[in-house]
Structure 1
């Protein structure tokens, strides 16, 4: 079975991308908990975080760290949260979320936002990543052409 994340990465379904490398991609969730909430998704499909090889899991954490540093400079937040749940989609992924307090870590509180809101919040994060020297990993466009 093909997951929604595979379809987004392949460009078959829309996605708002802020980061991509050979091992993973980062894109907006259409139902964020807070502005700037993104998903760090490995290109390889692994059902759960614990199914991934350790080096891939470490790479996702490294990318999540880069994203979090950029989020701190862009969004109204005091901390960056990281959540690994995996119930929504059977494809391991990290939620990287700008937080005001620990109540912002409740995935059940996520609500869908407009394309315009997603576009503007992700453009701000893309700019911050470029300013931090990660421009080589910021895709040329925010919309998801196939990233394979």
Structure 2
């Protein structure tokens, strides 16, 4: 079974892609906890973070780290929180959540975001990644 995230990688489902290389992809969550909430995934479809092969696991956070300065610049947050829950989609993913306080990580605050708002946020983050 192909996951939702693999379909995003393959371009079958639209997403606000922020950064991509041959092994990883970062894109905006369509139900963000906070503006700028980003998902970082390996392109290799695999269900559980802790059973990934070591090279893929070792590259995931360094790739995610490349997105953080742009998230901080665009959102003005104090920090970018990192969360791995792994139950929402059976494809390893790391949540990068711009935050100012611990309650900002509460998934109960997640809301569907209009496509035009996600597009605007995506443009700002991509522009910040270029600098």
Deviation at 1:105, TM superposition (A): 1.1
Q: Which has the higher contact order (CA 8 A, sep 6+)?
A: 1
Aligned partner of residue 77 in structure 2, secondary structure: coil
Q: Which residue of 1 aligns with 2:77?
A: 77
The offset of 1:76, in angstroms, is: 2.7
Gaps of 5+ in 2: none
* CA-based RMSD: 0.9
Deviations 1:69-90 (A, max 9, x none): 2211110311110001111000
Moved over 3 A (4+): none
Aligned to 2:123: 123
By how many angstroms is 1:41 displaced?
0.9
TM-score, normalised with respect to structure 1: 0.85
Judge which range, 9-18 or 50-59, deviates more. 50-59
Corresponding residue for residue 103 of structure 1: 103
Partner of 2:13: 13
Q: What corresponds to 2:46 in structure 1?
A: 46
The residue that corresponds to 2:28 in the other structure is: 28
Q: Please, which runs of 5 or more residues in structure 1 have no aligned partner?
A: 132-148
TM-score relative to the length of structure 2: 0.96
Deviation (angstroms), 1:109: 2.1
Measure the CA separation in 2 of the matches of 1:59 and 1:69.
18
Displacement of 1:107: 2.2
1:107 and 1:23 map into 2 onto residues whose CA distance is 27
Q: Which residue of 1 aligns with 2:112?
A: 112
